[in-house]
Amino acid sequence: MQRIRLRYTKRGRLRFTSHRDFQRAFERALRRAEVPMAYSAGFTPHPKVSYANAAPTGTGSEAEYLEIALTEARDPERLRLLLDESMPTGLDVIDAVEARTSGLADRLTASVWELRLDGVDPAGAERAVAAFNAAEAVEVQRKTKNGVRTFDARAAVVQLETHSSQADRPIDQPCAILRLVVRHVTPAVRPDDVLSGLRAVADLAPPVPAAVTRLAQGLFDEETGTVTDPLAPDREAVTAPSTAAPAAAATASA
């Protein structure tokens, strides 16, 4: 059985698709592309697809991940192209590797988010970010199926800063862009929780809902302060045998 790991996006209006909507679209794409899927056992077999840490409905993403199990081997890049052609524009399959290591979900320990705050003055956003970063704890509330839950939104935040790029800012109104790096903890701290925290510590309240996009997710590197590519170990495992072979041949000839 072959396992393939895929990276896909949620762009444009497709950011409003729920995870269940994506599952339906993806399973249709598997059928259209005639992927030789492995199926679960039981009375209602399902294709073996493992989804990892899906972004909340309404947020865009450049870094969503899943893994599929196949009954026949396929070239990962060819499979990616077939699936991407079968998916709606905006739900784009942009990377594929053969799974050569275990624990993809265990490597998704942090996310990088971009928060676009239309109507918010960048200087005011910078003051709010400074107040949030200076706080030891920032308590926020979130409605859950079991009622209102209060938790600290500060501890999970590794980095929060204003982004200076002018590329995506409108010229006729103020707009602040924030970059957020947050650890995946329990309970999960989401971008909207951080926005609630900014409102709590600095009364920052965007006049329109923030446009939120996940830029990356993976292991957080403590030394560099970056979030690393979770598919890199699988790529390295593919190239390792080819680099080791010449050394082995040289040893044998000696």
Q: What is the pLDDT of residues 156-196, one digit of tens each?
A: 999 999 987 655 666 678 999 999 999 999 889 999 999 99
Please state, rounded to an integer, the average pLDDT across all residues of the chain: 91
Q: Beta strands 2-10 and 60-70: pairing type?
A: antiparallel
Tokens standing for 13?
Answer: 């209006």
What's the pLDDT score for residue 99? 96
Please give the Cα distance from 28 to 87 (Å, whole number).
8
Confidence tier at 145 by pLDDT (50, 70, 90): confident
Please give the Cα distance from 12 to 203 (Å, whole number).
29
What's the pLDDT score for residue 238? 80
What's the pLDDT score for residue 164? 72
Instruction: Reply yes or no on whether the pLDDT at 10 is more than 70.
Output: yes
- Segment 146-159 shows an average pLDDT of 93
What's the pLDDT score for residue 252? 46
Angle, CA 186 vertex, CA 19 and CA 151 arms, to 5°: 110
What's the pLDDT score for residue 170? 60
Confidence tier at 241 by pLDDT (50, 70, 90): low
Nearest Cα neighbor of 96 from 70, 117, 134 is: 70
What's the pLDDT score for residue 226? 92
What's the pLDDT score for residue 253? 47
Lowest mean pLDDT among 57-61, 154-158, 235-239: 235-239
User: In this structure, is the dihedral angle defined by the CA atoms of residues 20, 24, 29 and 31, taken in order, positive or negative?
Assistant: positive
Instruction: Reply yes or no on whether the pLDDT at 249 is more than 80.
Output: no
Please give the Cα distance from 191 to 214 (Å, whole number).
9
At a CB cut-off of 8 Å and minimum separation 6, what does 22 contact?
A: 10, 54, 91
Instruction: Reply yes or no on whether the pLDDT at 254 is more than 50.
Output: no
Nearest Cα neighbor of 64 from 116, 7, 110, 115 is: 7
| Contact of 113 with 180, CB cutoff 8 Å | yes
Distances (CA, A) of 57 to 52, 61, 127, 150, 217: 15, 10, 29, 22, 17
Half-sphere CA count of 51, side-chain side, radius 13 A: 13
Residue position matching structure tokens 């939120």:
212
Confidence tier at 143 by pLDDT (50, 70, 90): confident
What's the pLDDT score for residue 183? 96
Q: Which long-range contacts (CB under 8 A, 24 or more apart) does 71-79 make?
A: 71/1, 71/36, 71/37, 71/38, 72/2, 72/36, 73/2, 74/2, 74/4, 74/35, 74/36, 76/4, 79/4, 79/33, 79/35
Confidence tier at 93 by pLDDT (50, 70, 90): very high
CB atoms near residue 145 (< 10 Å): 4
What's the pLDDT score for residue 165? 64
Element (H, E) at 245: helix 232-253
Instruction: Reply yes or no on whether the pLDDT at 42 is more than 90.
Output: no
- Segment 133-147 shows an average pLDDT of 91
